[in-house]
Amino acid sequence: MMLVKAELDLITDMLELLDDHSFTETHQRPLALLTQAQEDLRVCMATEAPSHQPSKKLRHWLQKLQIAKKTETTSCLTSSAIFHLFQVLDDLRCAAGQEPCA
């Protein structure tokens, strides 16, 4: 769930930054869906055991994401977020079913 939350945070942040007015009109529904998914994940994570620690692999990925947010251009992050959107949706499906994701 931590991975999916980080991915959703990045994607929604990037979609909110897009300045193309034609895209802005069409992305409101998907953005609302992703925002609701973020909120649902927050609720689920709040009820999870607070002692849960992410794996070494997940910690490394989250650290790389934080570094990328600070060092990459907004256009690069936006392109990456949109490119990986379908993977994030699959990760969200796994998290919703509390299944291990590949």
More confident: 23 or 67: 67
Q: Lowest-pLDDT range, 1-10, 23-32, 40-49, 72-81? A: 23-32
How deeply is 100 buried, as exposed, middle or buried, from its count of CB atoms within 10 A (0-12, 13-18, 19+)? exposed
Longest pairwise C-alpha distance within the chain: 45
pLDDT band for position 22 (cuts 50, 70, 90): low
**pLDDT surpassing 60 at residue 102:** no
Q: How does pLDDT run across 67-101, given as a tens digit for each residue?
A: 888 898 888 888 888 788 888 888 778 777 766 66
Residue ranges covered by each domain of the chain: 2-96
